[in-house]
Structure 1
Amino acid sequence: MNSRPGALAAVLLLLALGLLLLGTSIGSTGFDSVLAARHDPIALQIVWDIRLPRTLGAWAAGALLGLAGAVAQGLFRNPLADPYLLGSASGASLAMALALAVLGVSPFATAWLVRVGLTGAAFAGALGGVLLTLALANGVQHTLRLLLAGVIVGVVLGAGKDLVTLAIPDILSALQGFNLGSTGFVGWTACLLMLAVWAVCTTVAWLLGPVLDGLTLGEATAASLGLPLPRMRAALILVLALATGTAVAQTGMIAFVGLAAPHVARSLVTTTHSRLMLLASLTGGVLLLAADILARWLTAPQELPVGVLTAVLGGSYLLWRMHRGSGRLL
């Protein structure tokens, strides 16, 4: 990397390390030093088993959403594209609603959910939404068809989720936590899974960055350069679906991180898509980690839903960008 993207990456990593230390020091009673926990076995266990995986998990979920947002905006050549564009969010919500609805209805349903888990159901729903979008769009050949199919799938699956909640209103309280987003239930297993998926998706996205560089010149020009667009577009959609589905399954619906992170990265540096996707991923991790710390600290011992906080902060940032750019995001 040249000096400027490299310097930005270093700053983002330092910010993440500082926020990691801060995040492990924020508890239900406010701020307490991690160093003080060394002399208290119970406090040390709380830091290790609860705060540290939650803090790392918040960064990993934000990094996945930031990466997915950069892939979506580059793939669709649209600054308003976000990770949930292909129906993953509505699919995850519907799957979660159905899982909560059938829980306890029959021994078979309960046993199935015990094996799969609610996070597994949400992940399957997210991937199912993307697959349905691809089926309606007849593959990955046409970008506009993908966009239209994603919008249709999002509306239809969202309506399905609403019908389930109307039929069984008892699931509303449990489903609300998923829809508002939360990192409070992220443990070591979920944290390590998100980090592993992030490493794989980032590597693949980095290798496919030249495809997005070519697409900025138009599909005809990219094809004339000898790029196998259908296969590479399919690989990018797989990265988008896997990153988004993993994050949503573990932390719920967290808004605006995937949309805002690429804009923040682009406002700080101009570079190729390979580097931009990495920087957007690091930015997304810092944004969600900072929002999670604020959500825990602002109303301690209560917590704000982190998805609400990211929506407020991310929306405010994008409004500021539009005002500064005379109504344009880019």
Structure 2
Amino acid sequence: MSHRHLVPGPRHWLLHHLPLLVAGLVLLLVLTMAAAVGVGAVGIPLDVVWGVIASHLMPGSVEIAWSPGRDNIVWEVRLPRVILGATVGASLALVGAALQSVTRNPLADPHLLGISSGAALGAIIALLHTGMILGLATLPFFAFVGALVTTVIVVGAAGLTRSTSAGRLVLAGVAVSFVITSAGSLGIFLGDPRAAHTVLFWMLGGLGLAQWNQLLFPLAALFGCGAYLLFRARYLNAMTLGDESATSLGIPAGRFRLVVFIVCALLTGAAVAFSGVISFVGLMIPHIVRMVAGGDYRRVLPLSALVGAVFLVLADMLARIVIPPQDIPIGVITGLIGGVFFLMLLRRNRGMN
């Protein structure tokens, strides 16, 4: 009699030690963020990074042995950038995981479904045409509206075909994304030429414009929407079985899907408003997590958020060191990695209708 089934595998260990895994990922995220703050055209040692952070959080707790220039680089430039990167990575990974559940589509992603393009169009309108009419809330509000409208259009376009194909929603999203991206390009062309360069870099994805006073919006969206999705993890598990199965369990499938779409639009809008369009994070990260930890959304959601945060911080580090002192748009880095991952995923799911 074989005892192979009695030997716990890696996934079995993870399923029974989720708090330990989460704690390990949190520690990894903190260390990665600290390392990212020290990386750039001007390298800063880790002890100086920790010292600057401690001196601002607890004035007088450490002896200041660094220049004002280094203090400014760490506190005013790089730390907000790294926090924004972690926040956006976690948000996009959560969006991808939630969309893949409620659409029962393994290829669902805010970029592929055109939601990011809609958010970008809303932000372009705010930046180049309406101005900051709502103060700091203008960008996230317009980006949210753009993301939500695009989501409605994509779902409606897919529904017109009355097809149950798993790839239909992606095809509709790609088509709508082209239209929305063209509208965004037209908005840039008709806008102030002096702002076109900044907006173009922002459309390619970047964290270089991060500021402390802007972090409230993406952080609030992440914690608020993330808490809702985690609270409804059981519903997301049921939605992966189909509407009929979810309804039989007492879950209002149609209404819940609509709420998830709104939550995802809010998360995407808050992320895109301050980081630009960053592709494929929402596609890759949930798949990687499910390969390791299984499909239970009580595990998938927190792990996706943490892995997504670590991934985007690492991608931003790479974007800063490839051709210093220039920053490569982070969307280029994630696009290259995600494109290869997408092709591998298509091959793995080649039997999908």
Partners of 1:34 and 1:47 within 8 A in 2? no
Q: 1:115 to 1:185 in 2, by over 3 A?
A: closer
Is 1:219 the counterpart of 2:234? The answer is no
Is 1:229 the counterpart of 2:253? The answer is yes
* 1:112-152: CA deviation from partner (whole Å, max 9, x where unpaired): 386765555434433343355567789xxx98897676555
Query: Which residue is 1:245 aligned to?
Result: 269
Aligned AA for 2:29? Answer: A
Is 1:260 the counterpart of 2:287? The answer is no
Partners of 2:15 and 2:293 within 8 A in 1? no
Aligned AA for 1:205? Answer: L
Once the 2 structures are TM-superposed, how far is the Cα of residue 158 of structure 1 from its aligned partner?
2.4
Distance 2:291 2:152 in 1: 33
Once the 2 structures are TM-superposed, how far is the Cα of residue 260 of structure 1 from its aligned partner?
0.6
Q: 1:183 to 1:131 in 2, by over 3 A?
A: same
Query: Which residue is 1:198 aligned to?
Result: 222
Aligned AA for 1:289? Answer: V
Query: Which residue is 1:105 aligned to?
Result: none
The structure 1 residue matched to 2:143, chosen from 116, 122, 138, is 122
Q: 1:175 to 1:220 in 2, by over 3 A?
A: same
Query: Which residue is 2:80 aligned to?
Result: 53
Is 1:304 the counterpart of 2:317? The answer is no
Alignment of 1:1-330 (within 5 A): 2-35=15-48, 38-42=64-68, 43-84=70-111, 86-102=113-129, 109-110=130-131, 112=133, 117-118=138-139, 120-133=141-154, 150=173, 153-165=176-188, 170=193, 172-319=196-343, 325=348
SS in 2 for 1:27: coil
Aligned AA for 1:164? Answer: G
* 1:250-286: CA deviation from partner (whole Å, max 9, x where unpaired): 1000011111110111121114113212211111111
Q: 1:119 to 1:211 in 2, by over 3 A?
A: closer
Distance 2:239 2:110 in 1: 19
Aligned AA for 1:40? Answer: W
Q: 1:202 to 1:326 in 2, by over 3 A?
A: closer
TM-score scaled to structure 1, two decimals?
Answer: 0.83
Bigger-Rg structure (1/2): 2
SS in 2 for 1:24: helix
Once the 2 structures are TM-superposed, how far is the Cα of residue 165 of structure 1 from its aligned partner?
4.3
Q: 1:41 to 1:266 in 2, by over 3 A?
A: same
Once the 2 structures are TM-superposed, how far is the Cα of residue 63 of structure 1 from its aligned partner?
0.3
Q: Which moved more, 1:301-310 or 1:118-127?
A: 118-127
Aligned AA for 1:82? Answer: D
Distance 1:58 1:134 in 2: 29
Distance 1:219 1:258 in 2: 23
Q: 1:143 to 1:202 in 2, by over 3 A?
A: farther
Structure 1 unaligned residues grouped into runs of 5+? 103-108
SS in 1 for 2:206: coil
Q: 1:294 to 1:328 in 2, by over 3 A?
A: farther
Partners of 1:165 and 1:172 within 8 A in 2? yes
Partners of 1:64 and 1:198 within 8 A in 2? yes
Q: 1:187 to 1:326 in 2, by over 3 A?
A: same
Query: Which residue is 2:9 aligned to?
Result: none
Query: Which residue is 2:58 aligned to?
Result: none
Query: Which residue is 2:56 aligned to?
Result: none
Query: Which residue is 2:4 aligned to?
Result: none
Distance 1:8 1:207 in 2: 20
Q: Which moved more, 1:179-188 or 1:118-127?
A: 118-127
Once the 2 structures are TM-superposed, how far is the Cα of residue 195 of structure 1 from its aligned partner?
2.0
Structure 2 unaligned residues grouped into runs of 5+? 1-13, 53-63
Distance 1:159 1:182 in 2: 20
Once the two structures are aligned, what percentage of the paired residues are identical? 35
Once the 2 structures are TM-superposed, how far is the Cα of residue 54 of structure 1 from its aligned partner?
1.1
Distance 1:110 1:310 in 2: 30
Aligned AA for 1:223? Answer: T
SS in 1 for 2:215: helix
Distance 1:118 1:212 in 2: 30
